Amino acid sequence: MKSIALSTLLLLVAACGGETTTSTSTTGSSGTGGAASCPNDLPASCPTPAPTWSTDVATVIAARCAVCHAPGGAAADKPLTDHADVFARRSAVLNQIHACKMPPEGASPLTSAERVAIEGWLVCGAPDD
């Protein structure tokens, strides 16, 4: 019996899409929250003028991401400290920013100008320019 109850619970958790909500009751259905107002602002193609790493992106990554994504930070195992780091993780970075998952809750969100610059630069292929 115990194992059946446990696997049912695990199925329910899986059905919730693995969101990081701690389920407290079975009746509360106020949604999973988080990215409720996340804009769908991904450019369809490389914008003109193209944002550049050195002018538009590096300072934002350094100020808003490397706080945690660097040695000693909360995500030190996924460093984002220079172009090579960001380039290596560029598709995950795009996903996380576009889905408004990074910066995480508790850290202030990117401004729309910051989002547009990083997303545009990633769509351009994340060059070291």
Max intra-chain CA distance, the chain: 63
* Nearest to ligand HEC of 28, 106 (CB atom): 106
Separation of alpha carbons 62 and 97, rounded Å: 15
Separation of alpha carbons 129 and 123, rounded Å: 14
Q: Which of 42, 50, 58, 67 binds ligand HEC (CB under 6 A)?
A: 67
Q: Residue 98, interface with ligand HEC (CB under 6 A)?
A: no
Is the separation of the CB atoms in 97 and 113 below 8 Å? no
* Nearest to ligand HEC of 23, 95 (CB atom): 95
Interface positions with ligand HEC (CB under 6 A): 64-65, 67-69, 74-75, 78, 80, 89, 92-93, 96-97, 102-104, 107, 110
